[in-house]
Structure 1
Amino acid sequence: MAKRVENGGSGGVLKSNGSRNNNNSAVSAAGGGRSGSNSGSLVDLVRHYLFLFDGDEAELGTPVRLLLPDKKLGFGGTLVVALLKAISLAYDVVTWFGYYWFQKKSPREKAEVVSRGEGSCTWRSDREVRDIHVELEKGKIDTMHKVYTHAIRKNGLKRCLGTRELFKEEDEIQENGKVFKKYEMGEYHWKSYAEVDRLSACFAAGLTTLNLQRKEKICIFAETRAEWLIAAVGAFKHTFTIVTLYATLGEDAVVHGLNETESTVVLTSDELMPKFKSILKQTPHVKHLIYMEHPLKKLDTSGYLDSVSIHSFCDVIERGSKLSIRLEAPEPDDVAIIMYTSGSTGVPKGVLQSHKNVATAMLGLTDGLGPVYSDDIYVAYLPLAHVLELTCESICFLQGIPIGYSSPLTLTNNSSKIKAGSKGDAVVLEPTIMVAVPFALDRIYKMVQEQVNQGGFIKQALFYFAYDYKLWWYYKGYNTPLVDAIVMKKPKMAVGGKVRIMISGGAPLATDTHEFIRNCLCLPVVQGYGLTETCATATCSTPGDMSVGRVGPPLRCNDLRLVDWDEGNYTVNDVPLPRGELVIGGDNVAMGYFKLPEATAQDFFVADGRRWFRTGDIAVADPDGCFRIIDRKKDLVKLQMGEYLSMGKIESILKTCKYIENVCIYGDAFKNVCVALVVPAQKHLELLSSSIGKPNLSLEEMCSDPQVEAAFLKEIQSFSTAAKLHRFEIPAALKLCSELWTPDNNLVTAAFKLRRRNVQEWYQGDLDRMYAKLSSS
């Protein structure tokens, strides 16, 4: 069984002493929240100021000089830094004694090996069980219907789901002639738990008037909004199965999902309804379309197939309100959701998630994320069709945390649909809990860097100093509230100013991005690992874990097992740390794939009294039982000289480069180098093009210009070297791609994960030309 230890180190991670670092820590102006034996002596403190910018602090992790490599402080900046050093040193020496002696150390959970077999090793967690977990187990809450019902009874008239009022929608013509929709919006309006209960019950009853029978399917193809979750709560009340499809899917993918599941009822939005004028001709099973109304416009229902009935969301609720029927609750093993994977490795697969699977996953993640507070608010803007967002919203619903709905287009003041001078959703809502995917965090990382680069020498000097100062204290186990309040206030305010925890999942998070976001937004970034096949759960780091690049120990709902992968030279007997394919076992593991018995038999199996899933990801287990994802079996290529090229790892690092919007690495097994397909960041490409004497070129002209390409390659190679990539991991050639990679052209999934095979096939001619040119040079 796992044990809790104080300040346990982590294999291969510098300065990784457990630290709570939350708002309840005792703090001084310089720092607070001390935890760890590396908290630093007074001698260390003075030495730090002497060498803060001289490059001697190699243990810091990510020096600012790498984050902002093309900027020099100059004499004025150096003077500013010297002054800041003197002031900070004096203050820190005065306050150091108080918080050094009185701040308590914090424990950190870990996992230990529970069994070893031939070529395998299994870990289990004993994270602290929270009261809500005990409460649900005593009440035998083992279905999603019971989860929601329990929350409704407990929270009654409390705020539950919030939607922001839309006053006006207008067209705004940009300088380039493009027309963008802009919103004028008001405050959030809230539905209580009791109201959600009433609406969801009426919706479930209304579905029965559309001849939908118990255990039949309703497909939800819509953006994230309150009606989505109300519909789900209603469906679970009468054992309807939900089929989820991303709102960004192309027509072919929607047709595939509807036909494979034979869904007769589809719930969508006013904005997506026009797609069905062509989709319905290819989906003979669909008999009813339900649309969520637009707050300002009425839908034109002409032009649709006569054989398909069209109903508004409110109409279905009204129909249900007139009925008096007994809703039949589901059993734990009934199918709750058919959730389609993102399809990054091929055609999306429908994953069969039972009520027990999802409820178990919720309990596990509830333990992992720690306590909640009375003022907590969650902002919901990621796709509810994604397992991570649905799980997080359900956890908030369960624990009485209000959920305010938003979208990527309205989240911040700078979002594309927010009118100039108006406030974004996060500023109005002031959430305390957010979920973000690495794709979004990478953009924030680049945006902050760009803003600092554009500032004067004083702004840059202040940022240089503050970031390095904060980073040094953080790895000694202290907060820096004075720096947070003065220097880091603007980045924090972009997401409302009150976010206390950021949850990252859905893809690997680059270590540089993790560290940068954590320090600039002044909050713990909790990184988790899970899949659709495990209902979003498997591992989760703790809010006090100061390490980066790790996904934490196993959750209580499952065991983790590493299994030898001989072909890739990964074994559980590797020195210094065990490595292998990650296999997950527990009640959160799904029932299998919908109508795919062969794929189910290949990826799922039963052993030791539980169901297991082979993830295809390669992991390493640190001594404290925390895991790191280091490779993916399908992303590995063995090059001619025997080196294993991890394409996903290289892409994750290169995406943090300001010149790169997206990238696909390619390795040929008969070559000893890799090449890259790059979607450039247009603004920085234009600056680079101008710097070599080629201004005013179009994007297509820049991407096809050999001199621009050569200059771009030089920048990428310099960045790769600074990021400590091995020589064989640094692209030897690249192709600049003027096309955007979107779900519409099938080069990325609806969750914006790379469709590697599709990208490589699209640019096969360019890949061949790059290798031919390298061979001839």
Structure 2
Amino acid sequence: MAGKDNNNMDMDGVGFSLAIGALKALAFVYDVLTFPVYIILQRPWRLRQLSRTIKAKPIHDDIKSITYRSTVQPKDHHITLVREKIDTMAKMFEYCSKKYPNKRCLGTREILAEEDELQPNGRVFKKFVMGDYKWKTFSEVNILASNFGKGVRELGNPAGKNVAIFAETRAEWMIAAHGIFKQNIPLVTIYATLGDDAIAHAINETEVSTIITSYELLSKFKNILRMTPRVQTLIYMEDQLKGLESADGYKEGVQIIKFEDVIKQGAKSSIVAEPPKTDDIAIIMYTSGSTGVPKGVILKQRNLIATLKGFCDSTPIYETDIMIGFLPLAHVFELLVESVCQFAGVPIGYSGPLTMTDFSNKIQKGTKGDATVLCPTVLTSVPLILDRISKNIQERVSKSGNLKKVIFKFAYEYKSAWKKRGYATPLIDKLIFSPITNLVGGNMRLMIAGGAPLSPETHEQISTCLCVTIIQGYGLTETTSCACVQDLYDMTFGRVGAPCTICDIKLISWEEGNYRVTDKPYPRGEIIIGGDNISAGYYKLPEKTDEDFFEADGKRWFRTGDIVEVHEDGVVKIIDRKKDLVKLQAGEYVSLGKVEAELKTCPLVDNICVYGESSKDFCVALVVPNQQNLEDLAAKKGVENKSFEELCVNPVIEKAVVKELAEHGKKSKLAKFEIPAAIKLVTEVWSPDMGLVTAAFKLKRKDIQERYKHEINRMYAS
């Protein structure tokens, strides 16, 4: 029997070798025949030339700092904003409604019913019966926003008095925001994933009496209202299927009113709008920061318009595009990318994780998810979501037959090789990668990634398999999400782009971390950002504001704490973070964020938090494992008939994961002292509502360490 098996394996090996040989021969003939056509039609030398252009140049340098400025010229939309004297968000949307009155603006997928669906294992899940997208035109959205803003004023909230919005991303969120902007009411934005204490902190600190929320989140206020004595009015966005049957359980004296009723009230109002000026506060954005309680970042109208100009110059959005919106609008990154789309006349269809794809939790088997119905061309994302898509692709390929694996691997390498030379591969895209592109509607051409550095491996894989251009950006809430954006023609991976047209970046040596602007081959140091996009500071935190912000050279600047290197074309690569640097007992510095970014690309890892103590000579790590890949590893090690929870506490599996991480770390060129010597496998998935990651899925390091302090102590003791 063993002999027969070996013979079969030999036969398979011969078969695969023949298959690869045939593919290579076929590809060679195809290349010879099509090369003259492709070189004429695609003109790859233009792409290579554009990729090599200088994107930013030093305008000042000395032994301790270098200041860089973009070489890019303002594009048409930026010029229009200046020419039309658009210096507030109210003026921006008024302009859009006049330019594109009858164009589709905001779309919501209709939910017709909710039905039980029997699963193969006998369980019953609730699934939506979905209809088509229902659209509101720019003119309709403008009228609804105007009436909503007046309705809020009618409810007793004057211009200049803060209003909070605590809701998921949806069309009503954007309508409410524009309505409030029109009335010069500062908008306090709070992530829908924050815990009750953090929500109450933001509401109390900003002294709001009116809160806009959604039906889905309304019940949270039964508890929150007990902690927020100033709140008098709750406005809620209605659910498509359910209505509020009773106000029982809510604090007495608080008015609860439908979103639609506020609009109706505003439609009858004779209140005259009080439009904002460019230096008025537009937003107080509460960031679920990686340390401490959330801070309110003050963003003025001028800050939002500055970033809008910068994004218009760096983000290739066209009137023919369609955007799918699902990231939190409570973050200025999503808000302003959607604003770029509005300024370009692009319709935005809203979605969520439960209905986005054909395989999402609330989509009935055999019916279409939002992306399939909408067929979007533009999407914003954060690296964690792209990492998950990447691992999902790897998992699907690994489960396919051996021949399919060989074909996929050949196609991937073939496409990557030609892409690096500046060529597109339309036939390979159609034959091999179209099933993957259909997961997001089949028309996706551009993904804009922000919130954290995107690993080069994920960047390349998503770009190749989904046949899209990924533009990676870098910014912070304090810089109105704008600092650097990758050029459309940049053919490299792992860099965040050059400074935007509306701001300068300054590199300052950080002696303690051994990063200097005199370093070779590239200058390195802390990145400091200056321009009209820089926040006025932190709400009611003057000392913290003075610590992080300063004025110089006629600009306002923000100290980011991020360490970067700047390449000869003016493009920035993030390499470290001040707060993530740990000095081990032997004197080696470990950048925890850098190590996590590398180890997160390991197929076994869904999430990871690395920890180091200065009194020890090694690091340890808390690992959220990928369940399927952990089970596959267990099978290889002969550990069978164990639950996921049992595998996570199994010493054999723990040891095997440590070994896998060490091998992956070596491949990623991590030093031995950077690779965790001990790990703890964590069964719970870290989510924003647990308070362990931010809404942008950045680790809240202190909270994680506090939650798992006993496990960390045990790892070091072992």
Q: TM-score range by the shorter chain?
A: over 0.9
Residue in 1 aligned with 2:332?
387
1:739-754 equivalences in 2 (<5 Å): 739-754=684-699
| Code of the aligned partner of 2:28 | L
Per-residue deviation, 1:649: 1.2
CA RMSD of aligned residues (A): 1.6
Say if 1:143 and 1:356, in contact at 8 Å, map to a contact too: yes
Say if 2:194 and 2:288, in contact at 8 Å, map to a contact too: no
Say if 2:359 and 2:369, in contact at 8 Å, map to a contact too: yes
Asked if 1:632 is matched to 2:577, the reply is yes
Asked if 1:359 is matched to 2:305, the reply is yes
| Code of the aligned partner of 1:77 | F
Residue in 2 aligned with 1:90?
29
Per-residue deviation, 1:128: 2.8
Write the distance in 2 (CA, Å) between the matches of 1:73 and 1:271.
Answer: 55
Shift of the 358–247 alpha-carbon distance from structure 1 to 2, 3 Å rule, reads same
Residue in 2 aligned with 1:80?
19
| Code of the aligned partner of 1:540 | V
TM-score using structure 2 length: 0.95
Write the distance in 1 (CA, Å) between the matches of 2:643 and 2:373.
Answer: 39
Residue in 2 aligned with 1:484?
429
Say if 1:184 and 1:419, in contact at 8 Å, map to a contact too: yes
| Code of the aligned partner of 1:92 | D
Residue in 2 aligned with 1:684?
629
| Code of the aligned partner of 1:322 | K
Residue in 1 aligned with 2:470?
525
Say if 2:57 and 2:71, in contact at 8 Å, map to a contact too: no
Residue in 2 aligned with 1:554?
499
- Of 657, 662, 683, which residue of structure 2 is paired with 1:712? 657
Per-residue deviation, 1:249: 1.4
- Of 603, 618, 624, which residue of structure 2 is paired with 1:658? 603
Write the distance in 1 (CA, Å) between the matches of 2:54 and 2:101.
Answer: 34
Per-residue deviation, 1:584: 0.2
Write the distance in 2 (CA, Å) between the matches of 1:656 and 1:424.
Answer: 28
What is the aligned residue count? 701
Identity, % of aligned positions: 51
| Code of the aligned partner of 2:252 | D
Residue in 2 aligned with 1:240?
185
Say if 1:504 and 1:527, in contact at 8 Å, map to a contact too: yes
Per-residue deviation, 1:183: 1.2
Which piece of structure 1 moves more, 693-702 or 644-653? 693-702
1:382-421 equivalences in 2 (<5 Å): 382-421=327-366
Write the distance in 1 (CA, Å) between the matches of 2:124 and 2:204.
Answer: 36
Asked if 1:467 is matched to 2:412, the reply is yes
Alignment gaps of 5+ in structure 1: 1-71
Please list the CA deviations of residues 662-717 of structure 1 after superposition, one character each: whole Å capped at 9, or x if unmatched.
11011122323211111111222223223323322233322222112112222222
Residue in 1 aligned with 2:237?
292
Write the distance in 2 (CA, Å) between the matches of 1:369 and 1:558.
Answer: 16
| Code of the aligned partner of 1:361 | T
Say if 2:194 and 2:691, in contact at 8 Å, map to a contact too: no
Per-residue deviation, 1:739: 2.7
Write the distance in 2 (CA, Å) between the matches of 1:177 and 1:83.
Answer: 46
Please list the CA deviations of residues 640-681 of structure 1 after superposition, one character each: whole Å capped at 9, or x if unmatched.
333221111111122222211211011122323211111111
Which piece of structure 1 moves more, 209-218 or 681-690? 681-690
Which piece of structure 1 moves more, 716-725 or 189-198? 716-725
Which piece of structure 1 moves more, 384-393 or 176-185? 176-185
| Code of the aligned partner of 1:311 | I
Residue in 1 aligned with 2:46?
105
Write the distance in 1 (CA, Å) between the matches of 2:371 and 2:72.
Answer: 32
Per-residue deviation, 1:417: 1.4
1:123-142 equivalences in 2 (<5 Å): 123-142=68-87
Asked if 1:732 is matched to 2:677, the reply is yes
TM-score using structure 1 length: 0.88
Asked if 1:310 is matched to 2:256, the reply is yes
Residue 243 of structure 2: SS of its match in structure 1? coil
Say if 2:382 and 2:696, in contact at 8 Å, map to a contact too: no
Asked if 1:218 is matched to 2:157, the reply is no
- Of 259, 273, 276, which residue of structure 2 is paired with 1:330? 276
Per-residue deviation, 1:399: 1.1
Residue in 2 aligned with 1:5?
none
Per-residue deviation, 1:178: 6.9
Alignment gaps of 5+ in structure 2: 1-10
Per-residue deviation, 1:637: 1.0
Per-residue deviation, 1:350: 0.4
| Code of the aligned partner of 1:97 | P
Write the distance in 2 (CA, Å) between the matches of 1:121 and 1:612.
Answer: 14
Write the distance in 1 (CA, Å) between the matches of 2:63 and 2:693.
Answer: 39
| Code of the aligned partner of 1:517 | I
Say if 1:379 and 1:426, in contact at 8 Å, map to a contact too: yes
Say if 2:319 and 2:344, in contact at 8 Å, map to a contact too: no
Shift of the 444–73 alpha-carbon distance from structure 1 to 2, 3 Å rule, reads farther
Write the distance in 1 (CA, Å) between the matches of 2:416 and 2:63.
Answer: 43
Write the distance in 1 (CA, Å) between the matches of 2:641 and 2:245.
Answer: 44
Per-residue deviation, 1:151: 1.0
Write the distance in 2 (CA, Å) between the matches of 1:78 and 1:450.
Answer: 23
Higher RCO by CA contacts (8 Å cutoff, separation 6 or greater):
1
Residue in 1 aligned with 2:95?
150
Say if 2:63 and 2:517, in contact at 8 Å, map to a contact too: no
Asked if 1:427 is matched to 2:372, the reply is yes
| Code of the aligned partner of 1:685 | L
Write the distance in 1 (CA, Å) between the matches of 2:54 and 2:357.
Answer: 35
| Code of the aligned partner of 2:493 | V
1:477-516 equivalences in 2 (<5 Å): 477-516=422-461
Residue 689 of structure 2: SS of its match in structure 1? coil
Say if 2:606 and 2:625, in contact at 8 Å, map to a contact too: yes
| Code of the aligned partner of 1:347 | V
Per-residue deviation, 1:239: 0.1
Say if 1:73 and 1:460, in contact at 8 Å, map to a contact too: no
| Code of the aligned partner of 1:570 | Y
